[in-house]
Amino acid sequence: MKLKGVIICAFMFPGILFCTQAFAMDNLFLCGIVKKVDARKALVSIDVKSGSCPGLRQFQLAAPQAASRFIVGEKQCFPIDSSHCNDNIIHKILIRE
């Protein structure tokens, strides 16, 4: 009976471990210079200097009120909702309140 429990645990543990790793997602952390802020649309244009996502890009803010944190000409560092940059998507900036 004890052997049966050990065998069941031996097969279940890797399965549980695999499932938790499969759903893990990292958020890309970027830095750049703020070029334009549109508080009405909650969009920010940033010239990203990070090597993983360089160039002028637009990002969506969670709420228009968050636009006050972004001042044109200042360097900002922020996480986005993806683990990589996609040129065809406006990524969302993740800001903790």
Query: 32-46 pLDDT, tens per residue?
Result: 999 999 999 999 999
| Residue 15 confidence (pLDDT) above 80 | no
In the three-class reduction of DSSP (H, G, I as helix; E, B as strand; rest coil), residue 68 is classed as helix
Percent of the chain with pLDDT over 70: 72
The whole model's pTM is what? 0.71
Can you tell me the distance from the alpha carbon of 89 to that of 97, in angstroms, rounded to the nearest whole number?
24
The answer on pLDDT for 10 being more than 70 is: no
Indicate whether 67 pLDDT > 80: yes
Query: Using CA atoms, how far apart are residues 34 and 69, in angstroms rounded to an integer?
Result: 11
Q: CA 56 → CA 8, 13, 36, distances in Å?
A: 53, 45, 10
Res 59: pLDDT:
96
Distance CA 91, CA 85 (A): 8
